[in-house]
């Protein structure tokens, strides 16, 4: 070997050493911080810890929910240490294919895969006893809810569920741990931000497989804010029990604030099914239930108001001065108009009727005459003043409140391409025909009349709220109609004698809303009339206003009025027990 070749070899070695030294200098000095961070990222894990949710209370401080632990089993693995799926399926009592599907979506050895959620204590004990045989398997603890009253007030309180893909787009939810519970409906959804608090963090050191070695730091979660609702759970309970197995809705509120004391929608559902992790078969069963338990009938269902609408017609007639309340109209059982006959509910007629008797006994013919004298535009105007035909403004996220419908000539021409006839006015004056309202609108109607004309936005929160509107009613109008509404309940011929109470003076109006035209011979529950009753109590300085709708219940006085009576009495019994 010549000296020249030796020198070339030495230079080559030196050159290679220089490259290595430069690369070391680059890695350790120039890019040292970068790779240090990468190393730390591989060694450290930041685990989000959901905060305990705030507790929801009723207006009397009674808790309606409580926080409970929600356990899951998760797995950290990589392709070099693929788990024994068959052994896992026996441990977790899961189908092999289900596990394989979950593992197939796994794209990082450092992110755990949730295999099974909502574990029972028996399952936890079984898994923990064998967990050393399954590297990477561990038990996760989350925070969920127990709804202490089950189906009671479920449409108000709502329920929790796992964050869905659509919600993950919400910037407000990006800081939430994946698979955390969040409010999906009702109060849980409306006040989710206040209730959920601030998530904590746990920083841990992990090995090459992502398994925890030790805890380095922990930042405690901050519990969410407690919420006190306006509802009275004792009133709610009395109302739902009064319905028995009937379908329908009830809304009770304070006339001077708009605070909701009870909101019923039946049939209902059990929110505990959702908070414990609902599977697809359970969800399909609920959605396919023909009774529609998830429908909030108080705000989402629209019905003809029937004779409860006569409150509006009577107020409009008195305010416009189109009739002397003492003048008489003869009811022989119907009103003839051209070739049509518009009948009264009482086939033999009511005889000679003034306004007081017409309201007490709910004479249709009297109100046909009022409608004729008023005209549909005046009826439409006063209906709108009372909040009918428009949203009340209540927040029931994510549900959308229905508007109902208060028609006039312009509406009919636009929607049906026909002129408005006097016959349309007749049936509109008694709350039939095209008119429809929601139970919450009916409650606002009677509350607005009861407090002298102040319109309040319904709310689930306690507090003094300013009215959102006012009807400047004459004192005489209020007195005439109030006396008649008291007679509906307390006079011998009143249509709501079944709601007369020995505890408190109740005033109200019954309604029977036809679902098919008179004379049509049909059978089946779906063709039975809806039963309405709206009321307030006490007669002077009312504290509660209420609307009751029983789907296909028949007569309002026989079916809906007793439900209102039990609910109103429950309110005053609850109130008196607190004062004594």
Query: For 17-60, what is each residue's pLDDT tens digit?
Result: 777 666 565 556 655 554 444 444 456 666 667 788 999 999 99
- Assess if residue 140 is contained within a domain: yes
Residues 204 and 329 in one domain: no
C-alpha angle with apex 333: 329 to 337, nearest 5 degrees?
80
CATH number, residue 56: 3.90.1310.10
- Assess if residue 380 is contained within a domain: yes
Give the pLDDT score at 84: 84
Residues 526 and 438 in one domain: yes
Name the more confident of 180 and 114: 114
- Assess if residue 289 is contained within a domain: no
Domain that holds residue 255: 233-268+295-579
Residues 215 and 313 in one domain: no
Phi, psi of 421 (to 5 degrees): -105, 160
Give the pLDDT score at 75: 84
Q: Single out the residue in 205, 228, 251 at which a domain terminates.
A: 228
Closest alpha carbon to 516 in 507, 508, 506, 524: 524
Closest alpha carbon to 388 in 479, 311, 459, 318: 311
- Assess if residue 552 is contained within a domain: yes
What confidence tier does 261 reach under pLDDT thresholds 50, 70, 90? Answer: very high
Mean pLDDT, residues 130-149: 86
Q: What is the pLDDT of residues 518-561, one digit of tens each?
A: 555 656 677 889 999 999 999 999 999 999 999 999 999 999 99
Residues 383 and 489 in one domain: yes
Q: Single out the residue in 228, 257, 282 at which a domain terminates.
A: 228
Q: Please, where are the H alpha helices in 211-294?
A: 233-243, 272-275, 280-287
- Residue 75: beta bridge partners? 113, 137
Give the pLDDT score at 395: 86
Give the pLDDT score at 69: 86
Closest alpha carbon to 130 in 169, 92, 164, 161: 92
Residues 507 and 394 in one domain: yes
- Tracing tokens 């039975």 back to the chain, one arrives at 528
Residues 92 and 222 in one domain: yes
CB-CB contact of 88 with 99 (8 Å): yes
This prediction has a pTM of 0.85
Phi, psi of 576 (to 5 degrees): -65, -35
Which CA distances in Å does 95 have to 88, 89, 100, 252, 401?
9, 6, 9, 49, 42
Q: Single out the residue in 174, 207, 228 at which a domain terminates.
A: 228
Lowest mean pLDDT among 11-25, 35-49, 93-107, 248-262: 35-49
Gap between the Cα atoms of 185 and 157, Å rounded: 8
| Active site (catalytic) residues | 307
Residues 258 and 368 in one domain: yes
- Domain tally, the chain: 2
Residues 130 and 251 in one domain: no
Name the more confident of 65 and 118: 65
Residues 86 and 100 in one domain: yes
Residues 161 and 253 in one domain: no
- Assess if residue 8 is contained within a domain: no
Residues 214 and 238 in one domain: no
Closest alpha carbon to 556 in 493, 514, 501: 514
Lowest mean pLDDT among 70-79, 317-326, 437-446: 70-79
- Assess if residue 275 is contained within a domain: no
Gap between the Cα atoms of 276 and 430, Å rounded: 48
Sheet strands (E) in 480-556: 507-513, 530-537, 544-550
Strands 227-228 and 56-57: parallel
- Assess if residue 39 is contained within a domain: no
- Assess if residue 35 is contained within a domain: no
CATH number, residue 365: 3.40.710.10
Gap between the Cα atoms of 506 and 91, Å rounded: 63
Lowest mean pLDDT among 312-316, 396-400, 504-508, 536-540: 396-400
Dihedral-angle region of residue 526 (phi above 0 means left; psi in -120 to 50 means alpha; beta otherwise): alpha
> If you write DSSP's letter for every residue of 151-192 in order, what string do you get?
TTTHHHH-EEEEPPTTGGG-GGGTTSPTT-EEEEEHHHHHTH
Closest alpha carbon to 471 in 490, 452, 487: 452
Residues 370 and 519 in one domain: yes
Q: What percent of the chain has pLDDT over 90?
A: 59
C-alpha angle with apex 239: 237 to 245, nearest 5 degrees?
100
C-beta neighbour count of 475 within 10 angstroms:
8
Supply the mean pLDDT for the chain: 88
pLDDT over threshold 70, residue 137: yes
Closest alpha carbon to 433 in 328, 313, 295: 313
Gap between the Cα atoms of 343 and 349, Å rounded: 9
C-alpha angle with apex 529: 526 to 535, nearest 5 degrees?
130
Which CA distances in Å does 219 have to 138, 178, 264, 505?
21, 18, 42, 57
């Amino acid at each position: 070997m010549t000296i020249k070749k030796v020198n070339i070899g030495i230079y080559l070695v030196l050159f290679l050493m220089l490259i290595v030294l430069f690369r070391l200098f680059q890695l350790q000095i120039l890019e040292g911080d970068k790779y240090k961070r990468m190393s730390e990222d591989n060694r450290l894990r930041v685990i989000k810890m959901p905060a305990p949710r705030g507790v929801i209370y009723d207006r009397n401080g009674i808790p309606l929910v409580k926080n409970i632990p929600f356990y899951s089993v998760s797995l950290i693995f990589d392709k070099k240490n693929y788990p024994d799926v068959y052994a896992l399926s026996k441990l977790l009592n899961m189908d092999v294919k289900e596990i394989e599907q979950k593992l197939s979506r796994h794209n990082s050895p450092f992110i755990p895969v949730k295999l099974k959620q909502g574990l029972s204590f028996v399952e936890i004990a079984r898994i923990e006893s064998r967990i050393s045989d399954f590297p990477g398997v561990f038990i996760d603890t989350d925070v969920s809810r127990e709804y202490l009253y089950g189906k009671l007030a479920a449409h108000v309180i709502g329920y929790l569920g796992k964050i869905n893909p659509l919600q993950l787009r919400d910037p407000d939810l990006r800081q939430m741990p994946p698979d955390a519970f969040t409010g999906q409906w009702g109060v849980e959804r409306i006040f989710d931000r206040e209730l959920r608090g601030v998530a904590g963090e746990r920083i841990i050191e992990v090995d090459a497989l992502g398994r925890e070695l030790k805890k380095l730091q922990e930042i405690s979660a901050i519990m969410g804010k407690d919420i006190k609702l306006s509802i009275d759970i004792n009133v709610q309970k009395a109302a739902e029990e009064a319905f028995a197995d009937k379908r329908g809705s009830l809304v009770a509120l304070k006339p001077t604030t708009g605070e909701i004391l009870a909101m019923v929608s039946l049939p209902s559902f059990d929110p505990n099914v959702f908070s414990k992790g609902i599977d697809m078969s359970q969800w399909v069963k609920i959605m396919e239930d023909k009774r529609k338990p998830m429908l909030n009938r108080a705000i989402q269902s629209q019905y003809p108001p029937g004779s409860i609408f006569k409150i509006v017609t009577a107020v409009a007639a008195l305010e416009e001065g189109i009739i002397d309340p003492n003048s008489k109209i003869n009811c022989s059982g119907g009103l003839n108009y051209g070739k049509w006959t518009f009948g009264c509910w009482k086939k033999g007629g009511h005889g000679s009727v003034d306004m007081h008797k017409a309201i007490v006994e709910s004479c249709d013919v009297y109100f046909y005459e009022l409608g004729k004298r008023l005209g549909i535009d005046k009826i439409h105007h006063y209906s709108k003043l009372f909040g009918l035909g428009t949203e009340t403004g209540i927040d029931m996220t994510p549900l959308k409140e229905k508007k109902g419908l208060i028609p006039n000539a312009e509406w009919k021409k636009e929607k049906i391409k026909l002129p408005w006839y006097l016959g349309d006015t007749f049936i509109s004056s008694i709350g039939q025909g095209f008119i429809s309202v929601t139970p919450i609108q009916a409650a606002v109607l009677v509350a607005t009349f009861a407090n002298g004309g102040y319109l309040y936005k319904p709310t689930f929160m306690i507090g003094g709220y300013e009215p959102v509107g006012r009807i400047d009613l004459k004192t005489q109008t209020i007195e005439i109609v109030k006396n008649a509404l008291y007679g509906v309940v307390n006079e011998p011929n009143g249509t709501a004698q079944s709601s007369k109470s020995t505890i408190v003076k109740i005033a109200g109006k019954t309604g029977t809303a036809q679902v098919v035209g008179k004379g049509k011979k049909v059978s089946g529950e779906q063709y039975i009339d809806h039963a309405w009753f709206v009321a307030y109590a006490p007669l002077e300085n009312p504290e509660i206003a209420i609307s009751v709708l029983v789907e296909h219940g028949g007569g309002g006085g026989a079916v809906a009025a007793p439900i209102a009576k039990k609910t109103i009495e429950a309110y005053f019994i609850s109130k008196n027990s607190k004062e004594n």
